[in-house]
Amino acid sequence: MAKPFLLGVLGGMGPLATLDFQHKLLQATPADSDQQQLPSVVWNVPQIADRQKALAGLGPSPLPQLLQGIEKLNQAGASHIAIPCNTAHHWYDELSRASNAPLLHIVDATMASLANLAHKPQRVGLIATQGTLDAGWYQQRLAQQGIEVLLPNDDELQQWFVPGCYAVKRGALHEGGELLAKQAKALLARGAQQLILACTEVPVALEAIAAPFLAQTCDPSQALAQQCAQIWLDYHHSYSTHIQRNNSNK
């Protein structure tokens, strides 16, 4: 058998988004008992340097602290590592090279989730930090599928997204939700048929105000949780089959 399954979660970016991801892991994992739930170890250390400010040249790089988290998760025995923060994937390659456990990529999980939609959208709106937008991960993958991507403009980012995101980080969920809803509605008004909420603070805020357009959104954090749950279910099935074979050979 392969190494026992243990999901490592590199969190703290922010801590509420990490707790939200853990809740989504529970929701995504079918289980009849505690023992059937997905096993995980979580590095939820919010003192990691601000990713948005680092990429804007306004603060220190979070890479040393991210690498520390990866080291701790590997020491804890993680078999896979998930990062429920889109912007932190800017350092994905460096983190992957430093990890014995494979790192799951949130964009891969999101694209798999979109592929399972009953009706493929022709135009998708992307709500994300400037760093994620500049990286172009989502735009490139969506373009490969022939999907047009609609992005926030600079004024919208400064007036709605950035203050909305930081409102969530200080616990003002309703305020953050109202601001981020304006960003979402602007993209929908420009023709987006689906929205990718590519910042883990956004779904938390929009759910807090019960935004009426949530059915038109794709949550990368949820997609990542579903991918983790599927890996766990595949492992659990393989392990159970292995045990049954061993018992039948005795």
Residues belonging to the active site: 85, 199
Q: Residue type for 114, please?
A: L
Half-sphere exposure of 116 (CA within 13 A, CB side): 10
Q: Residue type for 63, please?
A: L
Torsion angle defined by CA atoms of residues 132, 135, 224 and 8, in that order, rounded to the nearest 10 degrees: -90
Residues 167, 157: Cα–Cα separation, whole Å: 14
DSSP label at 1?
Answer: -
Residues 193, 210: Cα–Cα separation, whole Å: 19
Task: Give SS3 for 63.
Answer: helix
Task: Give SS3 for 192.
Answer: coil
The widest CA-to-CA distance across the chain, in whole angstroms, is 69
Stretch (H or E) spanning 194: strand 194-198
CB 94 within 8 A of CB 50: no
Residues 210, 223: Cα–Cα separation, whole Å: 20
